[in-house]
């Protein structure tokens, strides 16, 4: 709609710095410690856990953080999650199922977060648009 907004970029970058980097480090480290190896069943299990468990948690955390830094209310947060979490989760499947299949099968554990963060840069464009999209008010019948 408007020109480039450096404050919006700073807010999204701060999410990566304060939330995603730390939680990603511990979550993927935990996943690798409990499910070591690169056998196909191990890779598929890690991808499934990432997308069924972590993905919705990450989406809620992202929308929550975005809501806080933009001065939103709890009601705003609930509406945003209700309207856009499904889109975020399904968008994640398109990117992260193939990306994590490669990640867990071929990327050494010590390099996984770097690999994830490289892909996350592009995925953040999608999240930024979705996170800053206005919530549509439901029409009362």
Q: In whole angstroms, give the CA distance from residue 122 to residue 141.
A: 40
Of 123, 90, 130, 106, which is closest to residue 24 (Cα–Cα)?
123
Residue 117 pLDDT grade (very low, low, confident, very high; cuts 50, 70, 90): confident
Residue 106: per-residue pLDDT: 97
Residue 140: per-residue pLDDT: 61
Q: At 51, list the tokens.
A: 């997308």
Q: What is the pLDDT of residues 24-43, one digit of tens each?
A: 889 999 999 999 999 999 99
Residue 32: per-residue pLDDT: 93
Note the pTM of the prediction, 2 decimals. Answer: 0.87
Better-predicted residue by pLDDT, 76 or 138: 76
- Tally the C-alpha atoms within 13 A of residue 10's C-alpha that lie toward its C-beta: 5
Q: What is the pLDDT of residues 10-21, one digit of tens each?
A: 998 999 889 988
Better-predicted residue by pLDDT, 87 or 1: 87
């Amino acid at each position: 709609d408007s020109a480039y907004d450096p404050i919006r970029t700073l807010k999204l970058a701060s999410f990566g710095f304060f939330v995603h980097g730390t939680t990603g480090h511990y979550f993927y480290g935990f996943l690798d410690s409990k499910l070591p190896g690169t056998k196909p069943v191990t890779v598929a299990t890690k991808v499934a856990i990432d997308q069924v468990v972590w993905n919705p948690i990450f989406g809620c955390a992202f929308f929550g953080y975005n809501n806080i830094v933009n001065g939103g209310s709890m009601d705003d947060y609930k509406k945003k999650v209700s309207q856009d979490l499904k889109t975020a989760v399904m968008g994640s499947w398109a990117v992260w199922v193939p990306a994590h299949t490669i990640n867990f099968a071929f990327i050494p554990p010590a390099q996984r977060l770097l690999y994830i963060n490289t892909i996350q840069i592009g995925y953040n464009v999608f999240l930024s648009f979705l996170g800053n999209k206005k919530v549509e008010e439901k029409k009362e019948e």
